Chain A
Amino acid sequence: MIRILLLDDEPNILTALKRLLREEDWLIDTFTRAEEALDALQAHRYGVIVSDYQMPGMDGVTYLQFARQRQPDAIRLILSAHGDRQSMINAINRAEIYRFLSKPWEDYEIQAAIRSAVDLYRVKVENRELLAEIHRQKDLLRLREEELMRLETENPGITRVARDADGSIIIDESA
C-alpha cells in the first residue's frame, strides 16, 4: 500500500489534509516536527512526501533535501503559505520538488496533485523493477550462450543437431 508523509508545524492543516484524502486508499502519516518526520524516513518507504515551507527549526526545503537523499523514489511536494519567487526557486533547485502548492488551497488541487504524484512514484518504481528484470534476463541469456559455446568447442556440431518429427536424431550422411 502506498504510504504518504505529511509535514506541517500546524496540526490543523494536517487534519484538514487527512480529511480531504480520506477516501483514498493510502496510508497517511502526519508530523508537526521535521525531526520526527526525518526519523520516519528510516522506518517506512514513502511514495509521496508533502512538506510545509516555513517551520520552526528545519525548513521544508532542507527537510526535502534530506528526504531526497534517503528516499530518492519518493515524490516531493511543497505546500506553502509563502508565494514568493525566492522560496519557489529554492524548492525547485534545491529540493527538486514535483509541485509547489499554496495555502489556501482547493481540495481538488491537492487531491489531483497527490494522485498524480502517486502515479509518478508507481511508474518510477515499476520502471526500475522492469529494468532490473531486463538485466536479470540478459544475464541468464548470456550464461546460456556461454554454455552453448563451451559445448560446441568440446563437441563440435552438438549445437546443430537436427531432429525429425518424432524426435529422433537425423544423421546427415553428406555432412
Chain B
Amino acid sequence: MTDTPSQVSSELPSRELSERLEQANRQLLQSEKMAAIGQLAAGVAHEINNPVGYVYSNLQSLGTYLTDLFRLTDAVDTAQSLEDLRQIRKSIDYDFLRGDLEDLLAESREGIERVKTIIAAMKDFSHTEEEEFRMADLHRGIETTLNVVNNELKYKAEVVKDFGNVPEIECIISQLNQVIMNLLVNAAHAIESTGTITIRTRTAEGQVLIEVEDTGKGIEAANLNRIFDPFFTTKPVGKGTGLGLSLSFNIVEKHHGEITATSTPGKGTCFRIRLPVQQPDIGIR
C-alpha cells in the first residue's frame, strides 16, 4: 500500500477519475472564459455606446425632420396657392432635409450593423455548447475575436492581419478563439503607449501556424519558461488571473498542437501556435 493519491485511484476506476478530471478542466476553462469576458465588458460597453449614441441621436433628429416634412404635406390641403407651399418648402430647408435624410439613415444603419456584429461576436465567443471537434475556419474565428477585443486594442496598437492561405482545420473553434483572445489582450497589455500587433497565419509542412506578435515591452528570459505555469502572472493583482496562458497551453495541447513564445525584452514578444489540420485520433473518438 502506498500513499493517498494511488489509494484513491485504486478505489475509483481510472475511467471515472479521468472523467472527473476532464469535467474539472472544463469548468476551469469556462470560468476563465467568463472572467475574461467580465474584464472585457467595460470595453464592450464603450464599443456599443458609441454607435447607440449616434443612432439614438439621429432618431431624435429624424423626429424633428419629419415634423417639418409633415408641415409641408399637411399644407397641401390648406394652402391657398402653390406659392404658399413653395414658401413652406423653403422655410423648412427642404433641400437640406432631403439630402441629409439619406445620410442619416445610412449612418444609423451602419451603427446598428456594428452593434449587431459585436453582439454576434460575443455570442460566438461565449458558445458553451460547442465542445466538439469539427472543421472550422480559423480566420473567421480570429475576426470574431478581434471584434470582441477591439476596444482593448484600438487605443494601444495598430492590428495588422497577415493571413496566409490556410485550410479549415479540425478544432473546437470557441476554445481556439479564447487562446487568440488571451494572446491579443496580453499583447495589448505589453504595449506601454502605442505599438503594433501582428496576427499571422501560415501553412507549413501540413500544419497550420498562428502567430501573435507585439512590439511591447517583452518578457524577461527568467519569466519566459514560467509563463505557461498556472497562476503565474506579472500583472498587478486583479488584472490577470494567471490562468490565461496556462489554459491556452492546455487547449492547444488538447488539439495535439504546440504553443511556444520567443521574446526580446524591450522589443516585443511573439507567440506561435502550431496545429494539425486533422486530429490524429479521430477514429478512436
**B-binding residues in A (CB < 8 A):** 10, 12-13, 15-17, 19-20, 22, 54-57, 81-82, 84, 102-107, 110
Interface: B94 (CB within 8 A): no
A-B contact pairs, 6 of them (CB 8 A): A12-B111, A16-B57, A54-B46, A81-B47, A104-B57, A107-B61
Q: Looking at the complex, which one of B42, B100, B104 makes contact with A84 (CB distance below 8 Å)?
A: B42
Interface: B54 (CB within 8 A): yes
What is the bound-complex CA distance between A162 and B110, given in angstroms? 85
Interface: B103 (CB within 8 A): yes
Contacts of A10 on B, CB cut-off 8 Å?
50, 54
Contacts of A22 on B, CB cut-off 8 Å?
61
Q: Looking at the complex, which one of B51, B60, B103, B194 makes contact with A107 (CB distance below 8 Å)?
A: B60
Is the CB–CB distance between B49 and A104 below 8 Å? yes
Which residue of the partner chain A has the closest CB to B58? A16
Question: Given A12-B54, A54-B155, A104-B56: A81 and B61 within 8 A (CB)?
Answer: no
Contacts of B40 on A, CB cut-off 8 Å?
none
Is the CB–CB distance between A19 and B61 below 8 Å? yes
**A-binding residues in B (CB < 8 A):** 42, 45-47, 49-54, 56-58, 60-61, 100, 103-104, 107, 110-111, 154-155, 194
Number of residue pairs spanning A and B whose beta carbons lie under 8 angstroms apart? 63
Contacts of A13 on B, CB cut-off 8 Å?
50, 53-54
Is the CB–CB distance between A105 and B57 below 8 Å? yes
What is the bound-complex CA distance between A105 and B55, given in angstroms? 10
Closest chain-B Cβ to A87's Cβ sits at a distance in Å of 10
Given contacts A19-B104, A104-B53, 18 further A-B contacts (CB under 8 A): A10-B54, A12-B51, A12-B54, A13-B54, A15-B54, A16-B58, A16-B61, A17-B57, A19-B100, A54-B155, A55-B155, A56-B155, A81-B47, A81-B49, A84-B42, A105-B53, A105-B56, A110-B57
Contacts of B45 on A, CB cut-off 8 Å?
81
Question: Given A10-B50, A55-B155, A81-B46: A20 and B61 within 8 A (CB)?
Answer: yes
Contacts of A54 on B, CB cut-off 8 Å?
46, 155
What is the bound-complex CA distance between A56 and B148, given in angstroms? 18
Closest chain-A Cβ to B193's Cβ sits at a distance in Å of 10
What is the bound-complex CA distance between A56 and B159, given in angstroms? 13
Which residue of the partner chain A has the closest CB to B62? A19
Closest chain-A Cβ to B157's Cβ sits at a distance in Å of 9
What is the bound-complex CA distance between A10 and B114, given in angstroms? 13
Question: Given A10-B54, A20-B60: A103 and B154 within 8 A (CB)?
Answer: no
Contacts of A107 on B, CB cut-off 8 Å?
57, 60-61
